[in-house]
Amino acid sequence: MMDKTPKIIPADSSYQFRAGMIVEMLTRPEWGPGKVVHVNGDKLHVFFRDQEEKAAKMFRTSAPSLSICPAQSDPILDNLPPLKEADGRWELPKSRISLAQAEGKFLNHFPLGFVDPK
């Protein structure tokens, strides 16, 4: 059985983050997993799946609460369009809605979900 415990990287680690890695913020589980979209020296730009923002968040590689997800694949993060750099920020080409927002819109239109006769 695979160990699903996050691999916590200590602040003094020489571990190298790479673009494409799936990570998580232990202090913000509501953000869901995130994908490292750009690495520049000691700065990571991470796009989180469950955030509604179109810009990636920036962290130092030494951020103590940033950890590597045991699962290095996510159906949403694996299919992101290419992010574009603008003034040092990495952004999606257009706004998007989160999975929770999409579910809410669907259930608003189809209250009984997939069994709704509409």
pLDDT in tens, 32-86: 999 999 998 888 999 999 988 889 999 988 878 888 999 999 999 998 888 899 8
- 118 domain-assigned: no
Q: Tokens 């949403």 belong to which residue?
A: 76
Q: To the nearest whole percent, how much of the chain has pLDDT over 90?
A: 39
Pair of tokens at residue 52: 């509604």
- The domain in which residue 88 lies consists of 7-113
CB 32 within 8 A of CB 50: yes
Query: What pLDDT is attached to residue 12?
Result: 39
Residue 24 inside a domain? The answer is yes
Q: What is the pLDDT, as a whole number, of residue 31?
A: 93
Cα 21 from chain centroid? 10
Top-ranked range on mean pLDDT: pick from 4-18, 21-35, 98-112: 21-35
pLDDT reported for residue 118:
79
Query: Is residue 18 within 8 Å of 72, Cβ to Cβ?
Result: no
Query: Encoding tokens for residue 48?
Result: 């989180």
> Is 89 domain-assigned?
yes
User: Is 2 within a domain?
Assistant: no
Q: What is the pLDDT of residue 117?
A: 85
Distance from C-alpha of 103 to C-alpha of 109, rounded to nearest angstrom: 10
58: its two tokens: 């920036």
Q: Which residues pair with residue 7 across a beta bridge? A: 68
* Residue-level pLDDT at 49: 92
Give residues with Cβ within 8 angstroms of 72, minimum separation 6.
Answer: 21, 22
Q: Name which residue leads in pLDDT, 13 or 32.
A: 32
Residue 88: inside a domain: yes
Whole-number mean pLDDT of the chain?
84
Domain count, the chain: 1
d(CA 96, CA 25): 21
Report yes or no on 1 lying in a domain.
no
pTM summary value: 0.73
| 19 found inside a domain | yes
